[in-house]
Amino acid sequence: MPTRFARLAVGVTCAMVAWTSLADDRTAGAPTFTESEIQIILSHGPWPMPATQDKTNRVSGKPEAIEFGTRLFFDARLSRVGDTSCATCHVPERNWTDNQRRAIGRVVVDRNTPTVSNLSGSRWYGWDGGADSLWSQSLRPMLDERELGATPKHVADLIRGDEQLACRYRRTFGETPPAKNDEAIFVNIGKTIAAFLETLVSGRTPFDQFRDALARGQPPLSGTYSDAAQRGLKLFIGKGGCMNCHSGPNFTSGEFFSTGLSRFAPNGKPDAGRIEGVRKLLASRFNLLSAYNDDASGELAKQTHQLVVDKKTTGEFKVPSLRNLVLTEPYGRDGSIDRLHDVVRHYSELDPLRLHAKDGKPGTPLKLNAAEQRDLVVFLESLSTYNNGWRPDDGGPCR
């Protein structure tokens, strides 16, 4: 952790030095924002967003479920040989990632570990959108041979056989874990873990303070948001076009695009991305079209109903949130990019043949100069805080 702080501090210092040496340059100093730019900045807040309840999960928001889910997330007994828990890869103090290029469970998996904070209210989960609910996404790693490598029977037997876990199951679902029907227990465990994950919301950042001052029509408190961060913000919402995809309070539209950012295919094979995600989702026993969806209105299953396998989505990945990035290097779906500078350089110099907009037309490189690239990085860093949204509390023993 100290090295991370140091690196962040060095990054900020470099930007300050650059700023001083550019004092005569017209890119230096605080920018002014037009009324329409202010409206866009306001759309990136307020933060945190109001908590939402997941209607497809009947224990969403229930305190007993949250407590139980907290324990399960850290419990390696959920894995077949007892060596891997969710927290093996989603490490709290690493903003719920592992800082590896590609996740390492029982073996190396295909993709970089994303954070599990700020997910409440999302439409699709996973880099390829292979799940349509937080609870079904939470079931996937339990079954994956490379991750927890378990079975519904293994999980159900663990819950039935452990007094504390069985007690918590009873408190959460109002019934003893049934002697038969392993799958029902298994799905309920996914819903319990999802109830815990919904509570993870990263803390307020320097950007949020700046945004809220603008919302109140006040100038930001002097010295709280650097000129470089403000210039980077102006690029982000203007010339950079970043907010077309990284939109809203969580800096993601939740949609899928091909950016050419992750260059290296895992295991030498191209990663099909969204098209395979849709195939997986439609074939899943645990999607919102299944009987495990607790939303009787069927409202939330509509989008799943409308999904089609579309060749044009090959190689598309979900737009990630940009909050707390300073804790989650390396970057990109394949973890091939080491620093935020390198991400920004990619967008700045990107090969038009690699980036295709939804209409199929090649994108254009942004051609940001070195000072602009530095400003954009300082802005991205201002979306981070060392608060990972978690206050450990497992509620003590269950009686």
Contacting positions for ligand HEC (CB under 6 A): 84, 86, 88-90, 103, 105, 109, 111, 113-114, 116, 119, 125-128, 134, 137-138, 141-142, 147-148, 193, 197, 240-242, 244-246, 257, 259, 261-262, 317, 319-320, 322, 325, 328, 331-333, 340, 343-344, 347, 376, 380
* Closest to 263 measured CA to CA, from 375, 354, 144, 382: 354
Torsion of CA 244, 247, 253, 254, to 10 degrees: 130
The least CB distance from residue 380 to ligand HEC, in Å, is 6
Helix axes 163-173, 63-73, angle to 10 degrees: 150
The least CB distance from residue 249 to ligand HEC, in Å, is 16
The least CB distance from residue 131 to ligand HEC, in Å, is 7
CA distances in angstroms from 247 to 52, 171, 212, listed in the order given: 19, 39, 17
Pick the closer one to ligand HEC by CB: 55 or 345.
345
Torsion of CA 105, 263, 249, 253, to 10 degrees: -100
Pick the closer one to ligand HEC by CB: 20 or 52.
52
Torsion of CA 224, 379, 94, 319, to 10 degrees: 140
Pick the closer one to ligand HEC by CB: 197 or 301.
197
The least CB distance from residue 344 to ligand HEC, in Å, is 6
Q: Are 207 and 44 in contact (CB under 8 A)?
A: yes
The least CB distance from residue 377 to ligand HEC, in Å, is 8
Pick the closer one to ligand HEC by CB: 83 or 298.
83
Torsion of CA 344, 346, 350, 354, to 10 degrees: -130
The least CB distance from residue 336 to ligand HEC, in Å, is 9
The least CB distance from residue 74 to ligand HEC, in Å, is 10
Beta bridge partners of 116: none
Q: In which residue are the tokens 């009787």 written? A: 296
Where does 62-149 have alpha helices with state H? 63-73, 86-89, 134-143
The least CB distance from residue 17 to ligand HEC, in Å, is 22
The least CB distance from residue 217 to ligand HEC, in Å, is 28
Token pair belonging to 359: 């209409």
The least CB distance from residue 182 to ligand HEC, in Å, is 16
Which residues fall within 8 angstroms of residue 33, CB to CB, at 6 or more apart?
41, 214, 234
Which residues fall within 8 angstroms of residue 61, CB to CB, at 6 or more apart?
51, 53, 54, 195, 198
Where does the chain have alpha helices with state H? 2-21, 35-42, 63-73, 86-89, 134-143, 152-161, 163-173, 182-197, 206-215, 227-237, 274-283, 302-305, 340-349, 370-381
Pick the closer one to ligand HEC by CB: 173 or 257.
257
> Burial, 161: exposed, middle or buried (Cβ in 10 Å; 0-12, 13-18, 19+)?
exposed
Pick the closer one to ligand HEC by CB: 18 or 194.
194
